[in-house]
Each structure stands twice: as structure tokens, then as C-alpha cells.
Amino acid sequence: MKKEVTILALLLVLTIPGFTTASCDLDVSLINQDPYPVIPGEYVKLVFQLEGTDSPDCDDITFNLLEKYPLEFDPGELGSRTFRKIDYVKDYDSNILVPYEVRINEDALDGSNSIDVQVQSKNDAPLLKTLDIEIDDVRADFEVYVKDYSYTTNEITIEVLNIEKSDIEALTIEIPKQDAIEIKGSNRVVVGDLDSNEYTSADFEASLSDGDFKVNLIYSDTINNRRIIEKVVSFDSSYFTDKKADQVTLSSKITSAAIGIIFLIIGLIIAVIVIKWLIKKAFGKKK
């Protein structure tokens, strides 16, 4: 009977104001993401706001950004921050800003991706908060190949197809210096904007041999970052020798040259005849 009375008295005491168990009422929000959206494989700066730390019940707060997909930490980054008890001035903002810079997984999917943050005051159970970051793969990718090569003019045509879903702007095709191909004149051609699943081409004057050579594709993505991607292009001369178009062109050149020579000869003959006539006429008058 005495034991039951003791338990009842303890319960009554716990319900009296001032005797209730204190707790630190924390909350977390993500207030900044830079860049927004972030591209898979690149770094993102995240700033979290930790609220409720001004409570007298808060002590030795641990803030932990969990390393899980799509986040990847650099070596040495543990994701954990500790804040000791701080005395705040009344009526002033007592929130804590917690910054991180982490990498996004190369295979992260487009759209909203969940990340987890865990916060805990020394004497309380941990709070797990799920937040969202925005990911958008605005990078482009291309198929590049030799569309045409003329041995009569040494002109090579490079064709580029945008195979990603992102449109791009200010595309420049560049053939850097290398042994496999020798460019005559400018090695860069600006071809302009290129939408998804569209193609464009650029012409260069070049001497090259069978094998692979490198092409740089420089472009601006949809968030106005200038990017460069290197592609390896294969060249097989057997596809471009003895083409009818080249034969016709060569034949036309030969024909044009022959006609030019004939007209030159005719012109010389006429000139000789005219000169002889003028000389004969001039000497005939003297007699």
C-alpha cells in the first residue's frame, strides 16, 4: 500500500509545472543551395539554418549532415558540427547557419533529391530531418564524325549531333594541334546554337591520314556555364577516295583549264596577225 502511494505521489509531482522534463525544441531548414540546380558530379554549397537553439534546455548541440546518395564527401569531411551552449541576447536572432560544400554523385537523377540532417541536444533524442535539393543535368553530349573529305580541295566537314536532352548555345568546334591532322587556316569554327537531337557541321582545310584525331566542342549550357568536351574522331580514307563528285570536279577543272589554254592560243594567234598587219601597213605607206 505504501509503495502504491509513493508512485502516485511521484506522478503528481511530475505533472506540476516546473517539474516536467525539459527538452530542446530544434528545427532545421535549408536556406541556400548554390548552384541551383546543381549538376551531377559537381560541387554544391549548402547552407542550413538551425533554429530553437536559444532555449535554456539546449546544450552541446550536434549537427550532422549524413553522407548518403546523392551526396559524396571529400576525404576528411565527416559532416558533423558541434555547437556549445551559447547565451543569446533577448529579441535578437539566435539561429545558427551551418555551411557545407559537398559533391553530387555522378549518377544522380534529375529533379528533387532527398538529403538527411540529424540534430541533437546533449540530453535529448536526435531529430532526423529530410530536406530536398534540386539536381538538373544540363550538360550536353555529342556524336562527332567526318561527314566528308575532298582530296581535290583538302576540305574536311565535321558533323556534330547533340544527343542529350539539353539545348546548348554558342557551340564552337575546335581541332587542336596534333600529329594526326594538320589544319590550314583557322582551327576554330563557331556554329551557334544547337538544340537537343539536332545536328550541325563545320568545314576546315586540312591534311590528314588514316586514324583518330581529337575535336574539342565548346558550348554554353542552359545555366550559362561555358563548358568544353573532347571527342575522338576516326578517319578512314577509303570512304572518301575515288568519289564521283571529286572526279566530276577534277574533270571540270581540267576542261576549264583546257578551254582557257585554247582561248589563250587563239588570242596569241590573233595578236600576231594584227601585229603583222599593222607592220605591213606601216611600211607600205613609207614606200
Question: What is the secondary structure of 173-225 as a DSSP string?
Answer: EE---BTTEEEES-SEEEEEEE-TT-EEEEEEEEEE-SEEEEEEEEEE-TT--
pLDDT at res. 250: 52
End-to-end CA distance of the chain: 169
pLDDT at res. 9: 45
> Distances from the Cα of 49 to the Cαs of 43, 126, 227, 247, in angstroms?
20, 17, 33, 73
Burial call 248-266: b when 16+ CB within 10 Å, e when fewer: eeeeeeeeeeeeeeeeeee
pLDDT at res. 14: 43
- The band of 5, judged by pLDDT with boundaries at 50, 70 and 90, is very low
Per CATH, 2-135 and 142-239 having the same topology is answered yes
At 262, list the grid cell.
585554247
Is 248's pLDDT higher than 70? no
Is 261's pLDDT higher than 80? yes
Q: Give the model confidence (pLDDT) of 84-127 as tens digits.
A: 866 555 555 678 999 999 999 999 999 999 999 999 998 899 99
- The band of 12, judged by pLDDT with boundaries at 50, 70 and 90, is very low
At 67, list the grid cell.
553522407
At 153, list the grid cell.
580541295
Distance between CA 83 and CA 55 in Å, rounded? 14
Q: Rounded mean pLDDT of 66-79?
A: 94
Tracing cell 509545472 back to the chain, one arrives at 17
Distance between CA 73 and CA 84 in Å, rounded? 24
pLDDT at res. 286: 55
Q: Give the model confidence (pLDDT) of 136-157 as tens digits.
A: 988 899 999 999 999 989 999 9
When mean pLDDT is compared across 41-50, 58-67, 246-255, the lowest value belongs to 246-255
Domain ranges of the chain: 2-135, 142-239
- The band of 259, judged by pLDDT with boundaries at 50, 70 and 90, is confident
3-state DSSP assignment of residue 253: helix
Distance between CA 85 and CA 246 in Å, rounded? 83
pLDDT at res. 111: 94
Q: Rounded mean pLDDT of 201-223?
A: 95
Residue 162 CB coordination number (10 Å):
23
- Domain 142-239 matching CATH 2.60.40.1670: the answer reads yes
Omega prior to 37 cis, within 30 of 0: yes
Is 247's pLDDT higher than 60? no
Is 160's pLDDT higher than 60? yes
* Amino acid identity, position 73: F
Tracing cell 506540476 back to the chain, one arrives at 16
pLDDT at res. 254: 59
Beta strands 111-120 and 168-174: pairing type?
A: unpaired
Long-range contacts formed by 85-92: CB under 8 A, 24+ apart: 85/58, 85/59, 85/60, 86/53, 88/53, 88/54
Between 22 and 226, residue with greater pLDDT: 226
Distance between CA 280 and CA 276 in Å, rounded? 6
pLDDT at res. 91: 54
Region 2-135: CATH code: 2.60.40.10
Greatest CA span in the chain, whole angstroms?
169
- Helix (H) or strand (E) run with residue 170 in it: strand 168-174
Percent of the chain with pLDDT over 90: 62
Distance between CA 16 and CA 113 in Å, rounded? 45
